[in-house]
Amino acid sequence: MGTLKIEHLRTFLFTITILVGPAVAPCPGQSLEKGQIAPPFTAKDANGKSLSWDQWENMAVILIFHSEHIMYSERGLRAIIKDLSTEKELGGKAAILLITSGKRDLGTLTRVLEQSGLSFSITVDPERKNFARYRVVAFPTVYVIDKNRKIVHIDKGFGPLLPLKVTAAAKLAAGLIDEKAFYAATTKSGSGKSDHNALKLARTLRMVRQLIAAGMYTQARSSLEKVITKDTDSVEAAAMLTKVLLIQKRTKQAEPWLRRVRELAPGTPTLHLLEARFAIEEGRPEECLKKLEGMDGRKPEIALLRGLAFEMKKDFKAAAAAYRKALQDLQGALK
């Protein structure tokens, strides 16, 4: 009976690590809308310098809210920056203000933002006052604000069209394109068919999270397999299907999807976590621990995987400590 309870706990924790990605507890108050004047904010950059709208006079601002606990937040940020970096004409006309909830990733975030080619500032908001002011309910949340401090675009949560929409909105806010061009860029990306497929995938991923929450793993797997193929360009979809298959202990079926994640996201934390979980299912705890080396351990899944590896090695004291940390990290992620 004890073994059964432990197995249920593992499955529950792995389910939560999939679901905890895109959302946080809602902030009180009415939602902000496109066309409104952006609220003021109170912030200092990493060097302690006070920040205000004045330093970006006559510039558009891309305001990004990031959480260090949410893997989709960093993935969305990287996708946005990659797309922005191709728009050289935004240089000097747009800036990025990143508001994050913790200090752990400041070095990494700085390196990511440098790739954009735009001026940027990073501020830490541990009390989340600005998160509440801007009604942040998902990560990343992005506000694109024009030089008159009017909100021209809002995006909440990671999705396949997020980078395209943010980049087009930044160009609109900077006066590089008009509303008609913005609409064309965000509704006819590439072709009608490819845009339709991207939206269909986004809807499917939302539905799959609900199925996972209900413990309906077979239905979740079936839903994903209907909309993606093994040459998918969606890291999120391939990673989610890999996780679901591993929860079901279908390692042979998970293997080709894991290979696809390797092709799309080599050397990323997402890949290392999937490889560590795969090693556990294959009965290789040492390989699992090796894959987790150097990871800072803030994500509940990291501590959980370490716990599983230690338990397989019969180091039950270390396993118990790791499981406790997984629960603590999960509580932190849900705050």
Q: What is the pLDDT of residues 207-251, one digit of tens each?
A: 888 788 778 889 999 999 988 888 887 888 898 899 999 989 999
Task: Compute how many other C-beta atoms are within 10 angstroms of the C-beta atom of residue 133.
Answer: 17
- Same domain for 288 and 254, yes or no, is yes
Q: Which of 103, 260, 90, 250 is nearest to 167 (CA)?
A: 90
Q: Please answer whether residues 162 and 79 qualify as being in contact, where contact means their C-beta atoms are separated by less than 8 angstroms.
A: yes
CATH number at residue 125: 3.40.30.10
| Same domain as 123, residue 104 | yes
Same domain as 228, residue 205: yes
One domain, residues 237 and 317: yes
Q: Does residue 37 fall inside a structural domain? A: no
∠ at Cα 86 (82, 92), nearest 5°?
105
pLDDT value, residue 153? 94
The rounded percent of the chain whose pLDDT value lies above 70 is 84
- Residue that terminates a domain, selected from 134, 167, 188: 188
- Domain assignment present for residue 28? The answer is no
Q: Which range marks the domain in which residue 287 is found? A: 2-21+193-334
Same domain assignment for residues 128 and 146: yes
Write down which residue in 188, 209, 244 finishes a domain.
188
Total domains present in the chain: 2
pLDDT band per the 50, 70, 90 thresholds, residue 18? low
What mean pLDDT is reported for the chain? 82
Kind of pairing, strands 119-124 and 94-100? parallel
Residue 334 has pLDDT above 60, yes or no: no
pTM value is 0.57
- Out of 137, 163, 188, pick the residue that ends a domain: 188
- Do 199 and 166 fall into the same domain? no
Using CA atoms, how far apart are residues 326 and 307, in angstroms rounded to an integer? 8
Do both 73 and 170 map to the same domain? yes
The radius of gyration of the chain from alpha carbons, rounded to an integer in Å, stands at 21
Residue 58 structure tokens? 């006559």
Q: Chain-centre distance of CA 135, in angstroms?
A: 18
Res 131 pLDDT > 50: yes
Burial of 251 by CB count in 10 Å (0-12 exposed, 13-18 middle, 19+ buried)?
middle
Q: Is 21 exposed, middle or buried (0-12, 13-18, 19+ CB in 10 A)?
A: buried
Ordered DSSP codes for 193-213: HHHHHHHHHHHHHHHHHHHHH
User: Are 278 and 183 within one domain?
Assistant: no
Q: Do 250 and 303 fall into the same domain? A: yes
- My answer on whether 49 and 170 are in the same domain is yes
Please check whether residue 31 lies inside any domain of the structure.
no
